[in-house]
Structure 1
Amino acid sequence: MRFRSSFILAVLAVTLPVVFVRAEPLQAVPSAPASNATQATMLDAVWAGERVVAVGDHGVVLLSDDQGKHFRQASAVPVSSQLTGVSFVDAKRGWAVGHWGAILSTIDGGETWQIQRLSSTEDRPLFAVHFFNAQQGVAVGLWSLILLTNDGGQTWTEQTLQAPSGAKKADLNLMGLFADSRGTLYATAEHGQLLLSEDRGGNWRYLDTGYEGTLWCGAVLADGSLLLGGQRGTLLHGSATVKGLSRIPTQSKGSITSIAVAGSRVMAVGLDGLVLQSGDGGHSFQEKQSVDGLSLTAALFNVEGGAVLFSRRGVLADQY
């Protein structure tokens, strides 16, 4: 079974499944201040109130207080390993996850972070995190790893996942998390699997998408339908209650790494500079490629209607 340690490994290569085991406990090394921090690979980004918070390579956390026009590095991040996912419940309280099973928390809008969890002997990465409120959160990662908290991350409990139909064990890599307005949580995974939880991560069931490749990301559209992004330009649209989703045709073979939704506006971005834009709620898309073909890893809409884009070379100016 293949695994990709983060979205950016889809940009660079496909690797074999490796879990690094250390003979000695891991000593966390803080992320170092860098003059070129805005050029670090960013893997996920969210809004924390009116602030953009992005996370990525070398424990770099970037902050913007002007709708994504300018970024600066967070002042204190206690790890220098790759951060792959981030979630905020308000302008101040947020969590980030990454390699070595790291879970970090902040109570000051991402300025400073503290370690809540770190696997000191085994690098079993976490790929995504979602918090419903200041107490209840879910993190997912390598080989069906699911962690739950009901106390704001003070304690995390591993949740056992049943095997999908036809499999002997649950060992899918869970790549992304997103939720709808009712609190239904979805996890994108390998082999076209989409998992659904209606009790905030306690129990899960598998949904048949009709697709066999890796699903990297997903989002809930304004009408309540789902949009899923996967390998080789795969974009699936439909309802979670219907078996199989319809495929939206794309010309690009670049994997889709991130989906942003703002009302009727939808943007999906991916490898090789792929940008798919919709103005009708995700029913139809216009396809573009960035001029330099730089692979895109995350996207947000700002209040001014522009796109805040991130790539394997850091923050990008809005070209769209």
Structure 2
Amino acid sequence: MLFSLGRPQSGVKAGGFAATRRMLVILTLFIAQFAQAGWQDPLETPSASTAKAHQTLLLDITRAGDRLVAVGSHGHVIYSDDNGSSWNQGKVPVSVTLTAVYFASPEAGWAVGHDGVILVTKDGGQNWSREFDGYKANKAIVIAAKEKEDALADALTQAQAAADDVAIEEAEMALEEATYSREDAEYDEETGSTKPFLDVWFYDAKRGYAIGAYGMFFYTDNGGKSWVDVSARMPNPERLHLNGISLVGNRSLVVVGEMGLVMRSDDLGKTWRRTPSPYEGSLFGLVNAGEQQLLFGLRGHVFSSADGGITWNELETGSEQTLLSGYVGRKNTLLVGNAGSVILFDQSLKNSRTLILAGRKASAAAVEASDGSFVIVGEAGVQRLNAKGELMDQSISMAAGDF
């Protein structure tokens, strides 16, 4: 069962699959499970093998070389070496919902999800181990919040010693905000490993970011052996949910989130600034197609940019369905989202065609296979489309295993 976590979002209706992907309304009923006899911590419970893993809720899919790897509910990770016709299930040490997956090479990949979990694989998705979780995340956030509070307290003392009224007022306001942030972090630490990561991105096999709920932003420069809270770098005092992170050009990163949040870094994440947003509702992602970018979010809003994501123009697609993910293929770029909606763009990104998949089940992510077909994952599990966007024969299978 799904339920909403919190703060209202601009333009969001109760329920709906938009809640499942990157809007923070996918959390299992943790409290109800805890009350049941025999409850087991999903962070300590391996994902169970099932012959129907390819038919369960899947929230992201990517390529690891020619291999396809998808992740989703119950800690399911599945991979295919034949363009999505048949699948194998990876061995995963947790059973929490996994929300995003990224590979820096055909072998090295990371998956993130609920309870602040970060998993790593070194063999293309067959075997996974836990690198990080919400308990460690909460502890790191508390430490960073205390350090910031102490630094601002020192700044206030210096301003008072200098009898600088303007500096004193600014320091008092900053210290008050930092104190609230530290108290929030301590509350989260007492609550447990509840906040999910919503996206993950790596520049290479060493440097990567994991982002998520309430402004969570972590960085590693050693391939995930350790993760550092760098949320203080972000101009996000409201702790808005961070839904997607993408590379634009060679060194620019863009993070998008709720309430039209767009933040940009031109030095691979060392410094960040907010940039003007074309929309006040939640944004879920950005895809980079050569010289152009597409930004997308609630109610079918799609925006294009020809200057690296500095300015945006809205595109008319004829769809009002929330768009959750996109992929740039060799000939077509497609966006997918609620109610089976698929929007296909040609290479110019000026002409689009909107399709509705049979069954109208929501799609969470898509990828182009090596044969030119598209593989989409979501509420219906795995679905395959040809280059024209037409559903292919859906005789998809799982390999025999310990089911």
- Residue 117 (str. 1) matches residue 132 (str. 2): yes
Structure 1 counterpart SS, 2:86: coil
Distance verdict in 2 for CA 1:114–1:17, change over 3 Å: closer
- Residue 2 (str. 1) matches residue 13 (str. 2): no
After superposition, the C-alpha distances for 1:46-93 in whole angstroms (9 at most, x for unaligned) are: 10011001111110001010112222211x101100101111011100
Amino acid at match of 2:314: R
Amino acid at match of 1:147: F
Structure 2 counterpart SS, 1:100: helix
State the Cα RMSD in Å: 2.8
Amino acid at match of 1:178: S
Q: Distance in 2 between matches of 1:258 and 1:12?
A: 9
Amino acid at match of 2:267: D
Gaps of 5+ in 1: none
- Residue 99 (str. 1) matches residue 114 (str. 2): yes
Is the 8 Å Cα contact of residues 265 and 278 (structure 1) preserved in structure 2? yes
Q: Distance in 2 between matches of 1:35 and 1:85?
A: 22
Q: Distance in 2 between matches of 1:45 and 1:100?
A: 20
Q: TM-score, normalised by structure 1?
A: 0.89
Q: Distance in 1 between matches of 2:24 and 2:77?
A: 26
Is the 8 Å Cα contact of residues 66 and 369 (structure 2) preserved in structure 1? no
After superposition, the C-alpha distances for 1:71-129 in whole angstroms (9 at most, x for unaligned) are: 2211x101100101111011100000001110000000000001100123221110000
Structure 1 counterpart SS, 2:134: coil
Matches within 5 A, 1:275-294: 275-294=342-361
Is the 8 Å Cα contact of residues 221 and 281 (structure 1) preserved in structure 2? no
Q: Post-superposition shift, 1:291?
A: 2.4
**Structure 1 vs Structure 2: percent identity of aligned residues?**
30
Q: Post-superposition shift, 1:11?
A: 5.7
- Residue 65 (str. 1) matches residue 73 (str. 2): no
After superposition, the C-alpha distances for 1:165-223 in whole angstroms (9 at most, x for unaligned) are: xx8x2311000111134032211111112111223222211111221010011111122
Q: Name the structure 2 match of 1:195.
A: 263
Q: Name the structure 2 match of 1:86.
A: 101
Structure 1 counterpart SS, 2:240: coil
After superposition, the C-alpha distances for 1:285-305 in whole angstroms (9 at most, x for unaligned) are: 111111221111111112222
Is the 8 Å Cα contact of residues 114 and 195 (structure 2) preserved in structure 1? yes
Matches within 5 A, 1:165-176: 169-176=237-244
Q: Post-superposition shift, 1:15?
A: 7.2
Q: Name the structure 2 match of 1:39.
A: 55
2:217 counterpart (141, 146, 156)? 146
2:326 counterpart (259, 271, 275)? 259
Q: Distance in 2 between matches of 1:301 and 1:199?
A: 29
Distance verdict in 2 for CA 1:18–1:273, change over 3 Å: closer
Is the 8 Å Cα contact of residues 133 and 193 (structure 2) preserved in structure 1? no
Q: TM-score, normalised by structure 2?
A: 0.72
Structure 2 counterpart SS, 1:191: helix
Relative contact order (C-alpha < 8 Å, sep 6+): which is higher? 2
Gaps of 5+ in 2: 1-6, 35-39, 136-191, 391-403
Is the 8 Å Cα contact of residues 260 and 267 (structure 1) preserved in structure 2? yes
After superposition, the C-alpha distances for 1:224-262 in whole angstroms (9 at most, x for unaligned) are: x22011001111111456764111112222110111102
Q: Distance in 2 between matches of 1:198 and 1:181?
A: 9
Structure 1 counterpart SS, 2:200: strand
Q: Name the structure 2 match of 1:129.
A: 200
Is the 8 Å Cα contact of residues 19 and 25 (structure 2) preserved in structure 1? no
Is the 8 Å Cα contact of residues 194 and 208 (structure 1) preserved in structure 2? yes
What is the aligned residue count? 313
Is the 8 Å Cα contact of residues 147 and 156 (structure 1) preserved in structure 2? yes
Q: Post-superposition shift, 1:16?
A: 7.4
Amino acid at match of 1:144: G
Q: Name the structure 2 match of 1:216.
A: 284
Q: Distance in 2 between matches of 1:183 and 1:226?
A: 15
1:178 counterpart (240, 246, 255)? 246
Q: Name the structure 2 match of 1:156.
A: 227
Q: Post-superposition shift, 1:163?
A: 6.8
Structure index of larger Rg: 2
